[in-house]
Structure 1
Amino acid sequence: MKTLHNQILLYDEDCPLCKAYTSGFVQAGMLDHNGKKPFTAMSAEEQQFVDCNRAINEIALVDTENKTVRYGIDSLLHIIGYSFPLLQRIGNIKPIHYLLQKIYSFISYNRKVIIPGQATTEKTLQCIPAFNYKYRYFYILFAVLCTAVTLFSFSNNLTVLPKSNFGRELFLAFGQLCFQAIFLLKFDFKTITTYFGNLMTVSVMGSLLLLPLLLLHMLMIVPQSILLGWFGITVILMFTEHYRRIQLLGLPHYLCYTWIAYRIIALLIILNL
């Protein structure tokens, strides 16, 4: 790898995803050992030419010699392109660049609900993305569809359940949001939407855990006991992650039990249809 010198990525230290990929650039030798630092550690001089309002949403790559800044997908393309020029040229083709920009924004604006971390409150500078309802709604819809598709495929492999259809699973995924909303009426709309994002991330996590068994079932017949056991383990892991996120958000713990209650109610209705 060719090392890009005199360039510093200002990353969100409270975002595990941001920490991982910026560290990856350094470890791969694409940036030197001083090529990253937390947004909150930005110097007073850097604050003079870095657009802080933009940098909280689009990671900033600071040229320490020329005092210039690239943001978001352009930062990443510049780093990758220094080692792989062809990839940068492809990424800068207008339709491709537009698509990459949208994907980047989709992840960046939702990064706090995709992989939440413990927020640092004692520092003056905070790298908290602007709350973008459009990208949050799109993320929730995307997660609902992923969950419905996975559960539709998995439930059809369980002989103990009536034959499923995609409409039922889609209704159940949306129904979870509506059910939990009943117990969140005293909170403001932003808090509810933030919780919904975390809730659907837990559902996507469950879908990913079920995926290996779905793929295995395409190659061979998996015993029902293994399917049910795997599903049970997945639910336990999902409950644990949901509980962790509730704590991070400072929301009441009863939301974990209403989350379980909805699934029990839904299962009883399905078995009696």
Structure 2
Amino acid sequence: MKTLENQTLLYDEDCPLCSLYTTGFVKSGMLDENGRKSYCQLSEEEQSFVDLKRAPNEIALVDNKTKTVTYGVDSLIKVIGFSFPLIEKIATLKPIHFILKKIYSFVSYNRKVIIPGNVKVENKLQCTPDFNYKYRLLFIGFALTITTLILFGYSNLIPSLPKSSITREIILAFGQIVFQSLFLLKFDKQTILNYAGNIMTVSLMGSLILSPMLIVSRFVSLPEIIVLGWFGVTVLIMFLEHFRRVKILKLPFYLSYTWILYRILALILIIN
């Protein structure tokens, strides 16, 4: 593995995802021991040449010799491409680079709702991405689609429930956002959409936990008690994760209980 030396990635220390992959670059040898640094720890000299508005949105790679900075997906291409030149050649092709740039923006602008972390308020510099309505709504739509498809398949594994439909599952998934938003009307639009993004991440996580059962059911006939048991454990995990996120977001604790209330009401409507 070739090491890209004298380069430092400025990562968001409040983002577990950012911390994970930048640590991976250093441990794998792609970057040297000084290859990562928290954005919040920028020196005054570094702040003079790093774009402080752009860096929170697009991870910055600082060349410590030339004092120049690369941003976003180009930073990652530069790090990975130094060890794997073929990947760099492919990634810099215009159509592929365009797609990678859009995927990077999709993840970066939504990273705080994909894997939220506690913000250290004492830091003068905060690596918080701008709120981007387009990418937030795209994320909600993406999570809503995956959740709908998996729940549609899973509900049909439970014979005691009325036969499902895609329309029903879309209404139930989207209805959760509307129902929960009713308890946040005193908050601003960004707070509501930020919470909606977290709701859909929890739903997406739950759907992914259910998906192994869907795969197994293709080959083996599963008893309904196992299907229901797996679903119950999944809901418990989702509830705990939702509770954790509400605490991080500093929102009213009762949102976790209205989240459960909605699911109970939805089940009653389905059965009847």
Q: Distance in 2 between matches of 1:133 and 1:52?
A: 21
Alignment length (residue pairs): 272
Matches within 5 A, 1:215-226: 215-226=215-226
What is the one-letter code of the residue matched to 1:95? P
- In structure 1, the residue matched to 2:261 is 261
- In structure 2, the residue matched to 1:250 is 250
C-alpha offsets along residues 30-82 of structure 1, whole Å, 9 cap, x if unaligned? 00111001001111111111111100000000000011111010000000100
C-alpha offsets along residues 165-220 of structure 1, whole Å, 9 cap, x if unaligned? 11110111111111111111111111111100111100001001101111111121
Supply the RMSD in Å over aligned alpha carbons: 0.6
Q: Distance in 2 between matches of 1:219 and 1:33?
A: 48
Matches within 5 A, 1:232-243: 232-243=232-243
Q: CA deviation at 1:94?
A: 0.6
Q: CA deviation at 1:254?
A: 1.1
- In structure 2, the residue matched to 1:172 is 172
- In structure 2, the residue matched to 1:51 is 51
3-state secondary structure, aligned to 1:225:
helix
Per the normalisation by structure 2, the TM-score is: 0.99
Q: Give % identity.
A: 60
3-state secondary structure, aligned to 1:70:
strand
Q: Distance in 2 between matches of 1:181 and 1:232?
A: 25
Q: Distance in 2 between matches of 1:182 and 1:60?
A: 39
3-state secondary structure, aligned to 1:49:
coil
Matches within 5 A, 1:55-74: 55-74=55-74
Q: Distance in 2 between matches of 1:15 and 1:207?
A: 23
Query: Does 2:95 align with 1:95?
Result: yes
Q: Distance in 2 between matches of 1:188 and 1:80?
A: 40
Q: Distance in 1 between matches of 2:196 and 2:140?
A: 7
What is the one-letter code of the residue matched to 2:133? Y
Matches within 5 A, 1:116-155: 116-155=116-155
Q: Distance in 2 between matches of 1:146 and 1:122?
A: 38
Q: Distance in 2 between matches of 1:183 and 1:246?
A: 13
- In structure 1, the residue matched to 2:34 is 34
Q: CA deviation at 1:15?
A: 0.1
3-state secondary structure, aligned to 2:118:
coil
- In structure 2, the residue matched to 1:105 is 105
- In structure 1, the residue matched to 2:12 is 12
Q: Distance in 2 between matches of 1:56 and 1:181?
A: 28
Per the normalisation by structure 1, the TM-score is: 0.99
- In structure 1, the residue matched to 2:184 is 184
Q: Point out where structure 1 has 5 or more consecutive residues left out of the alignment.
A: none
C-alpha offsets along residues 78-117 of structure 1, whole Å, 9 cap, x if unaligned? 0010011010110011110010000000000000000000
Q: Distance in 2 between matches of 1:255 and 1:47?
A: 40
Q: Distance in 1 between matches of 2:186 and 2:22?
A: 39
Runs of 4+ with deviation above 3 angstroms: none
